[in-house]
A and B are shown apart, each in its own frame.
Chain A
Amino acid sequence: MDAFFIFLVIVAVFFSVVVGIGILYFSFRYRRSAKNPVGKIVEGSHALEIAWMAAPFVIAMFMFAWGSKLYVTMRRPPSDALEIYVVGKQWMWKVQHPDGRREFDELHVPVNRDIKLTMISEDVIHDFFVPAFRVKMDVLPGRYSTMWFRPTKTGRYHLFCSQYCGTDHSQMGGWVTVMEPSEYQAWLTGGSNSESLEQAGQALFTQLACVSCHGEGQGPGPRAPALRGVYGSKVKLTDGSTVVADEAYIRESILDPRAKIVAGYEPIMPTFQGVISEDQLLQLVAYVKSIGVPPAGGSPAAAGKE
């Protein structure tokens, strides 16, 4: 990434200098004088035009390829990354670690470990930006976005919101603390919250009476599909199509149950829009994930917990 940036700087400086020197040299060398009252007639040259279209194009394509390669890596989190959930709202960041520790405007992560953030906003679009890690990603309302990074040095780094989000946009930030793995473990257990995300989700599952239709998660529920083994599987819908049950699908099914009805069931589930918060949604999703089928090389951070 930084090597790419340096390459871009070199190309930019090179072309600026070439054009700059060209302009200055020509305008001094061929400045107006009594001996040079009017310019010579120079006809255009197709060869030259093609050359100075082709050369920048080749360089541009090289930039395009290199930049795209970096981007593809950036957008595809490794499957064994440590998964942390982030909720943005005007004007704070709420972070939930898988074992339940929560923090605000701070993010603690272990060093030399791939970290995947699953993020959503409660209101407007925000953007999670850690300049030191060269990563940023918009955090949208209504859909999960993900980003990942691998910190290689312990320390404290700026966390900014970089998508303008209203009054206190410039104050919506904090620090990312990169710790030794052992310190991180100690830090995780230091919180007052003893419940893990899945446990919190399971409690909600009972509390919101999801259990009365979906069942205990063992067999099929009385009026609704069982959720054990659903996450990561292909679900058949009433219209004959199938969807992969991912985080976005689970979330949608809770907020807008009629959007996608599982084949063989009636559209009777009420919406939980406005009933539960994005934090609670993430807990429910984590719970459903934990009783799902761990796909080959899936995310053991969430699934391997129960």
Chain B
Amino acid sequence: MSTTTASPAAAPSPPQPPREHYLNAGYGIRSWLFTTDHKRIALLWLISITFFFALGGFFALLIRLQLLTPQGWLFGPDTYNRLFTMHGIVMIFFFLIPAIPGVLGNFLIPLMIGAKDLAFPKLNLLSWYVFNIGALFTFYSIVTGGIDTGWTFYTPLSSIYSNSQVSVAVVGIFITGFSSILTGLNFIVTIHTMRAPGMTWWRLPIFVWAHYATSIIMVLGTPVVAITLALVAGDRLFHFGFFDPRLGGDPLLFQHLFWFYSHPAVYIMILPAMGVTTEIVATFARKNLFGYKFVAVASLAIAVIGFLVWAHHMFVAGISIYAAMAFSFLSYAVAIPSAVKVFNWTATLYRGSVSWQTPMLYALGFIGLFVMGGMTGLFLASLGADVHVHDTYFVVAHFHYIMVGGAVMGYLGGLHYWWPKISGRMYPEGLSRAAAIILFVGFNLTFFPQFVLGYLGMPRRYAMYPPEFQVLNVLSTAGASILGLGYILPIIYFVWSMRYGKVASSNPWPATGLEWQTTSPPPTENFETTPVVTWEPYDFEHRPDLGLPKPERAQPEQLEAPGLETGD
């Protein structure tokens, strides 16, 4: 089989013995749809995720076009309301939450810990199917009229008043939730039980720590939003009245339950991206990670404290003053582990050997945008300032800095970084650097003006707006078109590189992780022999196999002064 396929394609390249790996281990649709190989399942996820990213992006494009003029020249308010609702639902439930765990987590966790697969390979495949069944429901609700409640489904608008396809969409999200739970469970069990000899907890890459923390949120949080949305469906279909004040229900109860999951969900999106960034920073600074244990524990701290901050979405919703103060305090508390990570990444660059290759551009872009998203989060965590900017474009800008500037940058950075491992080919370096810079510029032009809009008082989810806000909206739309170009480029050159890209070596950067110890692309069983780990994480010192000169130890007195400067 391998000889017949290799002969036409491999003719121009230097002759090398065709090697069996996970991509050529089987052909035909069945070998993909019934695979239990985590790497193939990761690619199935990649296809689903990319489809929904494109769909959500298309909605975003229409939203930005509508907002070019104050009166809205493309759609009526009903259509516009459906657009931003579906943009939110698709991007959050069908792209951001599953993106990094589904694609990169699936592909890399077994490789990084030296395992042959995840603990439950069939469950892993089931997770993908469950996701797509849920996605079908949601897709059906979109093409048969859409949903107009906002992705937040606030009651009683969603439970009584909306005439759109709320029930179908809610069922879709309910089903998709099980995919999250299955994946989270699989990751937790895998990380506990499948680590290679010598791969102790304190030798796990931060990427794995981040996914461990994420999985905890997925397993504990997702059931709550599933039940909550089921109650909304119950209210709609059977008039249970959980959230209907006329029947003794409470609309605020919905918000508590919804945000109990949906705030931690933000950490499902950002923690894996932080993991990706950590890997990239250490590799492209060619240096041991500064404060490894602090960065690892910070992931867990974020996951745990993140469960206790949900009501900061409700400071003007009518909760008591003291409840609001407690949640404000906890929201500030969760900022500290995030700050710890940022400082440690920065300190890792100190005395490194920093290379500005494409993944590093994404990682540094991630840090910058995440800092801005995080700092504006401090405005929203404070009770006094939140009252003014709550539910305005300030919030829209803030969470796009975290979710797009953070999670999507992390996802794309990770895709570039591990693309040689996934595809066995290199992406084109020059074009991909250009795309990264286009994305960074386009992103800031799109979302920075929205901070100003929000401060000036433009509420979110407005199909039409007062004319004085037009200039900033036009700027934002201009930025969005640059941003769109930045997203199209990687899709094109990734596909291109699968056939025409330079063949990648096992460890092109080189990096220290176990995933780089196997061939690119890896064989189906990942490693020919089970690896034994004898080195610390991000250790360039005891790794002659990387082909790098042995790093020197920095003199202790040299690192005190400049290090402290960045500290505060």
List A residues at the B interface (Cβ < 8 Å).
Answer: 1, 4-5, 8, 11-12, 15-16, 18-20, 22-23, 26-27, 30-33, 36-42, 44-45, 48-49, 51-53, 55-57, 60-61, 63-64, 66-72, 74-76, 90, 123-125, 127, 129, 131-132, 134-138, 140-143, 145, 158, 160-171, 256, 273
Considering the chains assembled together, what is the distance between the CA atoms of A127 and B342 in angstroms? 36
- Would you call B391 an interface residue if the criterion is a C-beta within 8 Å of the partner chain's C-beta atoms? yes
- Expressed in whole angstroms, the minimum distance between the Cβ of B555 and any Cβ of chain A is 9
Selected A-B contacts with CB under 8 Å, 17 pairs: A18-B566, A19-B367, A22-B565, A37-B548, A38-B287, A40-B552, A48-B347, A60-B336, A61-B332, A64-B382, A123-B161, A129-B459, A131-B388, A142-B246, A158-B466, A164-B149, A166-B161
List residues of chain A with CB within 8 A of the CB of B541.
41
Known contacts A8-B385, A52-B568, A64-B332; is-contact A160 B459 (Cβ 8 Å): yes
Nearest CB in chain B: distance from A41 CB, A: 5
B342 and A60 contact, CB distance less than 8 A: no
What 5 A-B pairs come out closest when comparing CB atoms?
A: A131-B457, A142-B245, A39-B287, A67-B382, A70-B384
B325 touches A68 (CB 8 A): yes
Report yes or no: A124 in contact with B156, Cβ–Cβ below 8 A. yes
Is the CB of B328 closer than 8 A to any CB of chain A?
Answer: yes
A27 to B364, CA, bound (A): 10
Instruction: Across the interface, name the chain A residue whose C-beta is closest to B335.
Output: A60
Closest to A157 in B: B457
CA–CA, A306 and B335, complex, Å:
54
Q: Give the chain B neighbours of A57 by CB distance below 8 A.
A: 332, 336
Residue of B162, B286, B325, B352 ringed by the most chain A CB atoms within 10 A: B352
Flag if A71 contacts B351 (CB, 8 Å): no
Q: How far is the CA of A131 from the CA of B340 in the complex (A)?
A: 35
- Does B256 touch A at the CB level, under 8 Å? no
Q: Bound complex: CA of A57 vs CA of B305, how far in Å?
A: 15
Could you tell me if A4 and B384 are in contact, using CB atoms closer than 8 angstroms?
yes
Q: Is the CB of B355 within 8 A of A32?
A: yes
CA distance A39 to B553 in the complex (A): 9
Tell me which residues across on chain B come within 8 A of A129, comparing CB atoms: 391, 457, 459
| Whole-angstrom distance between the Cβ of B254 and the nearest chain A Cβ | 10
Q: Are B371 and A15 in contact (CB under 8 A)?
A: yes
Contacts of A170 in B (CB 8 A): 77, 459, 461-465
- Chain B, range 461-480, C-beta contacts under 8 Å to A: 461-466
Minimum C-beta distance from A146 to chain B (A): 9
Task: Kindly report which residue of chain A lies nearest to residue B346, judged by CB atoms.
Answer: A22
A166 vs B376: C-alpha distance in the bound complex, in angstroms? Answer: 28
Q: Do B329 and A64 have beta carbons less than 8 Å apart?
A: yes
Please state if A41 and B251 are interface contacts (CB–CB under 8 Å): no
User: Within the complex, which residue of A27, A49, A135, A136 is in contact with B294, where a contact is CB–CB below 8 Å?
Assistant: A49
**Once the chains are docked, how many angstroms separate the CA of A49 from the CA of B342?**
11
Binds A, one of B53-61, B201-209, B311-319: B311-319
Decide: B161 and A273 in contact? CB cutoff 8 A.
no
Q: Least Cβ distance of B295 to chain A in Å?
A: 9
Residues from chain B with Cβ under 8 Å of A143 in the complex: 245, 318
Q: Give the contacting residue for B568; candidates A40, A55, A142; CB below 8 A.
A: A55
Chain A: CB-nearest residue to B324: A71
Q: Is the CB–CB distance between A44 and B290 below 8 Å?
A: yes
* Distance in angstroms between the alpha carbons of A166 and B166 in the assembled complex: 13
Q: How far is the CA of A39 from the CA of B381 in the complex (A)?
A: 38
Which residues from A are CB-within-8-Å of B355?
31-32
On chain B, the residues within 8 Å of A167 by CB distance are 77-78, 81, 148
**If A158-B466, A163-B391 touch, does A23 touch B549 (CB 8 Å cutoff)?**
no
List the B side residues contacting A23 at CB < 8 Å. 346, 349, 364, 367-368
Contacts of A145 in B (CB 8 A): 318
B11 contacts the other chain (CB 8 A)? no
Tell me, yes or no, whether B450 is within 8 Å of chain A by CB.
Answer: no
Measured CA separation A177–B563 after assembly (Å): 55
Q: Given contacts A19-B367, A124-B156, are A72 and B385 in contact (CB under 8 A)?
A: no
Assembled-state Cα–Cα distance A123/B148 (Å): 16
| Contact indicator per residue, chain B 157-174, by CB within 8 Å of chain A (1) or not (0) | 100111000000000000
Residues B383-424 near A (CB distance < 8 A): 383-388, 390-392
Check B29 for interface membership: any CB of A closer than 8 A: no
Q: Which of A38, A71, A124, A136 contacts B391 (CB 8 A)?
A: A136
Determine how close the nearest CB of chain B comes to the CB of A100; give it in whole angstroms.
28
A-facing residues in B554-568 (Cβ within 8 Å): 554, 559, 563-568
